[in-house]
A and B are shown apart, each in its own frame.
Chain A
């Protein structure tokens, strides 16, 4: 975790304000934006095409992870990572000290995917300022600023409701947002799970079940958004597939027996580097 990635200084240095103003004004067009005449419509079919599909995948990944000459309209350099609750709290502590503070703004994804107005995206620093100026992202009652404690309570509540926490580069390397997402309403998680485009990276951890402690109460089973956790009837215990696990820690947070642990991905040679 690099504290500098959250600072106003860095944001200024890379011109995040201009980038974010353009990106957030055009956010909802990212799906239908055309590149060389090709949009994301029917992407699954397009990615399956023999040669064009490969080219398209390469181009999409290149655009997503680009670090220079970013085109804000296309959302270049805007990608994220899943984080567990503890890290979300640490990040809020760091980011809350910025000049812009923390603002709670409307979730773009839920609006365009399900036509639901939900204010569950936390913008830090520059993003808080930029998003507050665009009327469609803020509540009718005005901008909602949160202090660090309120923001922490908020992510905790989201965690209880079963949301996955993600942080976002806006743009890389400035980290400007903390979202509470669920699949498939979240565009990032949808891109990652359905198209395997690395818009969202897995967390630094994987969940592991301690088979001596697990009593098979099935409390955790409903919490997984990634299809990694199911109840194994033959063992009578919860089963986690580590290759699918994104390390969000939602299952761990509800376990009454503390039987689920988050293990750093880097400590497991077989999973090292698998983000």
Chain B
């Protein structure tokens, strides 16, 4: 089981971040890429705690950009 986020489509953290809030087991987290820790606008959302996922599909349904896919 895996969650894949299309970072090209994802508008978080500036415009969105719904997945971070709707996820009950809090699977997602924002984090900086290699060297841009000082620029929060360029941070990306990643499913960090995938092992907690209960496959409720909420993140997929709630994403306005359809950037999240759940692979079973």
Contact = CB atoms under 8 A, between A and B. Distances in A.
A28 B38 contact: no
A32 B31 contact: yes
B49 A25 contact: no
Interface in B1-57: 12-13, 17, 20-21, 25-26, 28-32, 37-38, 40, 43, 46-52
Q: Specify the main secondary structure of chain A where it touches its partner.
A: helix
B32 A28 contact: yes
Interface residues of B, number: 23
B37 A111 contact: no
A94 B15 CA distance: 41
Interface stretch (A36-44, A198-206, A226-234): A36-44
A102 to B, nearest CB: 24
Interface residues on A, range: 20 to 34
A42 B51 contact: yes
Given A25-B37, A190-B26, A40 B48 contact: yes
A263 B30 CA distance: 39
Interface in A11-53: 25-29, 31-32, 40-45
A150 B52 CA distance: 39
B26 A31 contact: no
A32 B48 CA distance: 8
B59 to A, nearest CB: 13
B50 A26 contact: no
Give me the 5 closest cross-chain CB pairs, A-B, nearest first: A115-B17, A44-B51, A45-B51, A112-B30, A115-B20
Interface of B: 12-13, 17, 20-21, 25-26, 28-32, 37-38, 40, 43, 46-52
Interface of A: 25-29, 31-32, 40-45, 111-116, 134-136, 184-185, 190, 194
26 contacts: A27-B37, A28-B32, A29-B31, A32-B31, A32-B46, A41-B46, A41-B48, A41-B49, A42-B49, A42-B50, A42-B51, A44-B52, A45-B50, A111-B30, A111-B40, A112-B29, A112-B43, A113-B29, A113-B30, A114-B21, A114-B26, A115-B20, A184-B25, A184-B26, A190-B26, A194-B49
